[in-house]
Amino acid sequence: MISPTFTSRLLPTVIAVCALLALATPVRWQSWARPLGQLATAVIAPVSHPFAALSRWIAPADDSPAQTERVRELESRLEEAQRELERVRFENRRLVLSLEELNVMAVVNTSPVRQVYAPIFASSSDLSSRIVRARAGRSQGVEVNSIATAAGLQLLGRVVAVDAFTCDILPFNAKSAESINAIIIIKGSDGGLSCRLTPVGNGSLKGPVHDRRDPTNALALVPEVGQLVRLSDGRWPSVAQMMLVGRVVAVESSPDGPLRQIVTVSPTVERIERVAEVVIRTNATSPDVSEKDSPKAGPGVGGPR
Amino acid sequence: MSTAAFIITAWVCIGLELGLKDAIALGPNSIAPSFVYCLLTFLAMFSGAPRPTWIAVALGLLMDLTARVPLQDGLGTATLIGPHVLAYVLSVQLITSLRGVVIKRNPLTVGFLAMLGSLVAQVMLVAIYSFRLWWGDAIMAGGGSPSGELVARITSAPYTGLLGVALAFAFFPLSGWLGLAAQSRKR
């Protein structure tokens, strides 16, 4: 039996240690806490997952009217085809430039993609980080920097931490996420307009558009509300290129120069962090990934695309 | 107080915190109530010293272990031990100081104390994250500017108070099971 005197003496010590850890210990010296956090998450997951599923059923990510399964499937296929077209165009331009500059054959990254369907089972207890946690981890081939997408190839974010059975996804539109380079797709124009988008904190992204003229008629390309915006950022994996970032919702003149444009982009899926399930795309050549190792192998794990 | 009953209640509340909190968040600025803080308020109101501080340490530790703090330059996330513990320990001192001058058996009291305590805890959290950023720690709490989310965190406090009123209707019938009724009668 622990005496009350002992607990009374222990309490100031515990608080002092916590104060030291909270205020004066660099984050890299607290890596030992991560396994404890994973353990705590594993213990809490059985109760948090039903609540998360219930809340996402009551308030789903997309507020659009109910669609039939067939329409949703066709829209998904259309988006996949459009994304593939843009990716091939982008790749084509890159290769032409590479060939011109280097005069050698460029090596194209043709590594196949593995898709893992993962339910969201919790968010961080401190909502300010906007991190969501999915039930798929290293055992399913998920790695740090794997890409998470929502319905219709809408980019959700990237995996920033992974353990055996779960992973942390930082949405690309979270305030703590980094800026991204993207391309505004302009119909009838070859190439579109590149822009650098920074998360604002309210779910949308904002940033300047680089001036460009249409090579066919020398007219300046202008961004318009409603145009699609796709990722084109070398710091993201190749599997993420030309994924849908969102749609232009506002265009305004830059305060630094009236001829420069600033666009505001919002994801096509409203409240994107509220999706119930994500598709995590990772290289199919991930080490030590086999169907028998994966507890969700089968219907949950997609094969190479 | 029954330790087993406390563990089960804390387990359910942290499950609600992780699973349901973002669903009832208001707007895009993370204005959301805390289920765990409401439990802490209720237990602190009816437990004898020094138990409220121990409960604050335990629940704060649980919150720290389940919070993910993004790191700068996209270097992943980290688990930071301490911020919630300190914030909860400090705020629970306010609750234990005020509990003697309020009508304890009233759900509105739970809400009022949860609101005040949560306010102190949130300000303390912002101060801790700001201090860490000031000396150059590589965290990205609050998008690199914790003070920028002070308003959202302060606005969360009345929301926690409202939730506290609602949860009080569940907590009061559970007080016997939690072993709190006998203690409150003794005093």
> What distance in Å separates the CA atoms of residue A203 and residue A267, rounded to the nearest whole number?
8
User: What three-state secondary structure class fits A121?
Assistant: strand
Asked whether residue A66 is assigned to any structural domain, the reply reads: no
**Confidence grade of residue A103 (pLDDT, cut at 50, 70, 90):** low
Q: Quote the pLDDT of residue A287.
A: 45
- Least CB-CB distance to A51: which of B16, B74, B79? B16
Q: Quote the pLDDT of residue A253.
A: 83
Asked whether residue A44 is assigned to any structural domain, the reply reads: no
CB spacing of B68 vs A168 below 8 angstroms? yes
pLDDT tens per residue, range A154-194: 888 989 888 888 899 988 888 888 889 998 888 777 678 88
Cβ atoms B30, A128 nearer than 8 A: yes
Q: Quote the pLDDT of residue A281.
A: 86
pLDDT tens per residue, range A2-27: 566 777 788 899 999 999 999 988 88
For CA atoms A10, A13, A17, A23, give the dihedral sign.
positive
**Which residue, chain included where needed, has tokens 């996804």?**
A169
Asked whether residue A184 is assigned to any structural domain, the reply reads: yes
The chain-wide mean pLDDT, for chain B, equals 87
Chain centre distance of CA A250: 22
Asked whether residue A200 is assigned to any structural domain, the reply reads: yes
Q: Total domain count for chain A?
A: 1
**Contacts of residue A131 in chain B, CB cutoff 8 Å?**
68, 70, 77
Say if residue B30 is exposed, middle or buried (CB neighbours under 10 Å; 0-12, 13-18, 19+): buried
- Determine contact: A233 vs chain B, CB below 8 A: no
**Contacts of residue A51 in chain B, CB cutoff 8 Å?**
15-16, 18-20
Q: What is the count of residue pairs from A and B with beta carbons less than 8 Å apart?
A: 204
Mutate to test the interface with B, among A1, A9, A128, A167 (most CBs of B within 10 A): A128
**Contacts of residue B8 in chain A, CB cutoff 8 Å?**
none
Asked whether residue A245 is assigned to any structural domain, the reply reads: yes
Please say if the pLDDT value at position B124 is more than 80: yes
Asked whether residue A238 is assigned to any structural domain, the reply reads: yes
Cβ atoms A124, A48 nearer than 8 A: no
Q: Is the peptide bond before B50 cis (omega within 30 degrees of 0)?
A: yes
pTM of the predicted structure, to 2 decimals: 0.75
Cβ atoms A59, B117 nearer than 8 A: no
Please say if the pLDDT value at position B23 is more than 50: yes
pLDDT tens per residue, range B36-92: 999 999 999 998 888 899 999 999 999 999 988 888 776 778 889 999 999 999 999
Asked whether residue A68 is assigned to any structural domain, the reply reads: no
**Contacts of residue B60 in chain A, CB cutoff 8 Å?**
18
> What distance in Å separates the CA atoms of residue B111 and residue B98, rounded to the nearest whole number?
13
Where are any strands of DSSP class E within A49-128? 113-123
Asked whether residue A218 is assigned to any structural domain, the reply reads: yes
Cβ density class B74-108: b for 16+ within 10 Å, e for less: bebbbbbbbbbbbbbbbbbbbbbebbeeeeeeebe
- The CATH number assigned to the domain holding A176 equals 2.40.10.340
Please say if the pLDDT value at position B34 is more than 80: yes
- Determine contact: B7 vs chain A, CB below 8 A: no
**Confidence grade of residue A304 (pLDDT, cut at 50, 70, 90):** very low
Question: For B118-146, what is the mean pLDDT?
Answer: 84
Chain centre distance of CA B33: 9
Q: Quote the pLDDT of residue A62.
A: 63
By residue range, what is the domain housing residue A243?
109-283
